Structure 1
Amino acid sequence: MQVTYLGHAGYSVATRSRHFLVDPTLTPTWQCGTVESSPRRALHLERLPRPDAVIITHQHPGHLELRTLALLSRDTHVFYPGDPAIDLAVRELGFEARTVVEPGMEIAFDGGRLVITRSAARGPLVGALFEEDDGSSCWIMDDQGAPLEEVAAVRAVAPRLGLLVCHYPANSHHFFERFQLEEHLADELRHSLDGVLAARPSLVAPNCCGFRYLGDADWLNRYIFPMSPARFLAELAALAPEQPSADLAPGDVVSIDGRSAAVRRQASPFVRALGPREGTLFDPTAALPPLEDPNPERLSRRELERRTEAFLTGDLLAWLREGALCAGSRLELYHRIGLTSRVFVVYPEGPEESFLLRLGPGEPTVLRDAAPPDEQAPANVRIAASVLDMWRRAEMPFYRARYHCRTFGAAYATGLLRSGRAEVKALGTVDLLSEHLRRPELLHRWIRREIASIREGRS
């Protein structure tokens, strides 16, 4: 078995009879052109052996990449978890051989099998365990890792695990949601180390171990990468100095023969690293750059104001009122406790505007708000006006919009216990605007638009 690291979360797995791709990114950049591999890489797709199958572990960018999938033959078999967004994408792109997988499923191939493994995260995420009849094996966890019970289950079916591609605290997703930095680093690191120590593979390599933001998103690089793969492997070595490990670069190949696993640096004919990984200083003390409106469509402020107010007092308000009547929904809970949220809109020129979203008592309302910018509601967002407009039209996906969208605050509910003590419960909400715009149907509209642009040859 030959496992080639393609960059980010992508791998080529070549068994004696089959060639698989896992979460490939085969374009120079991805995520709407705002992300590239680090180290940078050269791709020679004409030398890439035709894959028999692609495994998509989940629908996040860098894993479900429409422009990469569009490069593949449509008779390639696609395996993916039961996520409507992935299903829509592979159907719209024209892949005929599609299999929705779930943990525990086994797919046999000549001389071996693929076993779908469970993720530690909620939702449709999966990992992939490859086994050959000679005992060669490779387990690629998804980027949230696996629960320890799943590690034990894998060891039961593959007691001589050759290569483990493991989860580790590669980036801080919480920064995008509430500008939290290293809050969960210790728990995530402990979970990652426990998984490796329980699996005891012949070789371990960190997953998702190299990418950088570009262009107007490059300011993120100094904030959201709290741990390098080298630092993670140093922490592992301190606990288990006998555990072989490797920090892979694009183009490195791991040869697995039974129990043994050896790294051949830059041995791939179809991908190679162009230099070392660029260092990233994790500096939470650095000042955030000012939030500015990129205004790619060059709309006037008056037009952006008109579109913003029409959306907030139209579609958004209708959604709030409908949700407030839906028993048991999150919006109904927010309505019951009278949650308020402020939307601060930043324009290409002139002062920003503030809108107050109030859910109860009475009907939900959206009003122009004269509150000073430092007066917080429990859940707040500052967003560029043009980005809000493109996001709500499904011209821009969430993961592109978030570079120009900054959430803050903490939603909570208060009550009084029988003992007379106060009870305060965190609601774990993002701001109401983002909650509306991250609905699945909006993502599906964007997927259809993106596929249409691929068919028309647009970048």
Structure 2
Amino acid sequence: MRVTLIGHASLLIETAGGTVLTDPVFFDPFEGGAVTSCPEREVDPGKLPEVDYLVVSHRHADHFDIPSLARVPRGCQVLCPRDPLILYALDRLGFGRVTPVDPMRPLPAFDLQLFPTRSEEPTVREFGLVVADGSGTLWNQVDTVLSLATIQATVARFGAIDAHIARYASQNFDFFEGRAAGFPYEEHQRNLETVLAVRPRVAVPGSAGFRFAAPHGWLNRYLFPVSSERFAADLAGLEPAIRPLLMRPGDALDIERGEVHHSQGASPFCRTVRDDTEAIRFDPTAPIPPLEDPNPDGYPEAEMERVIGGFLERLHGYAVAQADRRLTLPDRYRRARALYELEVIFPAGRRRWQLDFRADPPRLDPDGTAEAHVVHRIAASALTGWVLRRRGYLYTRAYSRRSSTLYRVYGDEAGVEVRPVTLPDLAIHYLLNVAEDAADAARRRIDLEIEACPGAGQS
């Protein structure tokens, strides 16, 4: 078995029973231009060998990349979660042999064992994958969270795991919520414990080979607190019998009957151009630049004002209609007597709108100046693209900033307690769950991406 790292979570696994391609991302930048591979690499998809099995582990855009999927020949067998969005995209792209998988149930194959493993992550349908043939066994964890029961059942089924592509990065995506940049001690511990429980012969820190591209490069100092080198060193200190290996794009692992050999730069279709991982060195003291709107999609300012104004009117209508309905989000804002502010950064200036839930019914104040409790600042072009469903939530995170000072005070002369009140962001909740086109928004973005790929629907 040969396992080649194409970059990030993209692997080509060549076995005696067929060739498996996982989560292909061939082009940089990706995720709508927000991120790029790190280390920097070059990929020539035309030089890949014939693919027998295509695996899409989950719908996150760094694993489910439409331009790359459009370059994969349609005759292969596709394995994916039971996710309607992924199934819709694969059908639109013209893949005819698609199998939605059930974790912990083996998949039929001739001289190859494919075994999807369960994830304990509750917010996304995803799976890891064990690939085994006569030469050895690989477990690609991808982004999954593994329970001890899953690990024990998998190891009992396959015996020793030769190579484990392990989740390790503990990316600090909570930074987008409140600019907190602490070290993720608990998650780092869990990731190390997972590898120790699997007890592979070789462990490769994986599925974290990207950085943010300009103009969001400043985020790199905050979002990647655990380097692959640090993870490997911690693992080696815990269990010398597990051999940590660092792979760069174009590197390969050759697995043969209990032996794992690492070949640097062995791939004929992919290579590392330069090691620029210094760009993601963790530094929570780095400066945070002011929020600006470079308007990368080139929207006219009048169009942005029209789209955003209409969105605020609909958001206000939702707040008024739902504020008296128990346990709805507007009701929770009303009970907390919250003043919500959306400040929109235009290329030429900024405007703020305030929704005052202290009023009955909630009042929309354009250009409000009161001290708000919950604040969401966002670039006008990002919000416009999201409202028009040309961009998604993950893209807009780098163009927005949020904060909350909402709390309740309890006590008397004997003592006082101040408790924070945590509420989901009103605009995000509306666009993701409430807006008339919310259910079809992801499909619309898929359609736009496919239309932008030449020959995407052709086999």
- Are 1:37 and 1:210, in contact at CA under 8 Å, matched by a contact in 2? yes
Q: Distance in 1 between matches of 2:330 and 2:455?
A: 40
Whether 1:371 aligns to 2:365 is no
Q: Distance in 2 between matches of 1:299 and 1:12?
A: 40
Alignment of 1:44-443 (within 5 A): 44-123=44-123, 124-132=125-133, 134=134, 136-182=136-182, 185-280=184-279, 281-296=281-296, 298=298, 301-313=301-313, 315-321=314-320, 324=323, 329-350=328-349, 352-359=350-357, 362-371=360-369, 375-377=371-373, 379-409=374-404, 424=419, 427=422, 429=424, 431-439=425-433, 441=439, 442-443=441-442
Shift of 1:438: 3.3
The worse-fitting range, judged by mean Cα deviation, of 294-303 and 148-157 is 294-303
- Are 1:223 and 1:284, in contact at CA under 8 Å, matched by a contact in 2? yes
Secondary structure of 1:137's counterpart equals: strand
TM-score, normalization by structure 2: 0.89
Query: What amino acid is the match of 2:171?
Result: N
Q: Distance in 2 between matches of 1:328 and 1:100?
A: 35
Q: 1:297 to 1:252 in 2, by over 3 A?
A: closer
Shift of 1:213: 1.9
TM-score, normalization by structure 1: 0.89
- Are 1:213 and 1:220, in contact at CA under 8 Å, matched by a contact in 2? yes
Q: 1:413 to 1:271 in 2, by over 3 A?
A: farther
Please, what is the CA RMSD of the aligned residues? Answer: 2.7
- Are 2:201 and 2:241, in contact at CA under 8 Å, matched by a contact in 1? no
Q: Distance in 2 between matches of 1:199 and 1:169?
A: 18
The worse-fitting range, judged by mean Cα deviation, of 320-329 and 63-72 is 320-329
Q: Distance in 2 between matches of 1:251 and 1:356?
A: 51
Query: What amino acid is the match of 1:251?
Result: G
Q: Distance in 1 between matches of 2:270 and 2:227?
A: 22
Q: Distance in 2 between matches of 1:414 and 1:53?
A: 58
Q: 1:456 to 1:42 in 2, by over 3 A?
A: closer
| Residue equivalent to 2:445 | 446
Cα deviation, 1:168-213, whole Å, max 9, x if unaligned, reads: 1342111223322235x10111100100111110100011232122
Query: What amino acid is the match of 1:382?
Result: R
Shift of 1:406: 1.2
Cα deviation, 1:333-358, whole Å, max 9, x if unaligned, reads: 444444442111112113x2221224
- Are 2:406 and 2:421, in contact at CA under 8 Å, matched by a contact in 1? yes
Query: What amino acid is the match of 2:400?
Result: C
Shift of 1:48: 0.4
Secondary structure of 1:109's counterpart equals: coil
Q: Distance in 2 between matches of 1:263 and 1:40?
A: 20
Query: What amino acid is the match of 1:217?
Result: H
Q: Distance in 2 between matches of 1:365 and 1:255?
A: 65
Q: Distance in 2 between matches of 1:300 and 1:272?
A: 40
Shift of 1:216: 1.5
Query: What amino acid is the match of 1:353?
Result: R
- Are 2:407 and 2:418, in contact at CA under 8 Å, matched by a contact in 1? no
Shift of 1:424: 4.3
Q: Distance in 2 between matches of 1:309 and 1:394?
A: 16
- Are 1:148 and 1:194, in contact at CA under 8 Å, matched by a contact in 2? no
Q: Distance in 1 between matches of 2:416 and 2:159?
A: 52
Shift of 1:33: 2.6
The worse-fitting range, judged by mean Cα deviation, of 121-130 and 354-363 is 354-363
Query: What amino acid is the match of 2:366?
Result: R
- Are 1:21 and 1:53, in contact at CA under 8 Å, matched by a contact in 2? yes
Q: Distance in 2 between matches of 1:225 and 1:142?
A: 17
Q: 1:298 to 1:65 in 2, by over 3 A?
A: closer
Q: Distance in 2 between matches of 1:434 and 1:447?
A: 20
Q: 1:305 to 1:115 in 2, by over 3 A?
A: same
Secondary structure of 1:216's counterpart equals: coil
The worse-fitting range, judged by mean Cα deviation, of 295-304 and 4-13 is 295-304
Shift of 1:250: 0.7
- Are 2:254 and 2:262, in contact at CA under 8 Å, matched by a contact in 1? yes
Q: Distance in 2 between matches of 1:306 and 1:286?
A: 36
Identify unmatched segments of 5+ residues in structure 1.
Answer: none
The worse-fitting range, judged by mean Cα deviation, of 326-335 and 114-123 is 326-335
Q: 1:312 to 1:287 in 2, by over 3 A?
A: same
Shift of 1:89: 1.6
Cα deviation, 1:221-268, whole Å, max 9, x if unaligned, reads: 222111110011111112112320101101111111233222111112
Shift of 1:410: 6.2
Query: What amino acid is the match of 1:160?
Result: A
Query: What amino acid is the match of 2:398?
Result: Y
Secondary structure of 2:152's counterpart equals: helix
Q: Distance in 2 between matches of 1:177 and 1:432?
A: 13
Cα deviation, 1:253-305, whole Å, max 9, x if unaligned, reads: 11112332221111122112123243133222222112112234655545533
Shift of 1:309: 2.1
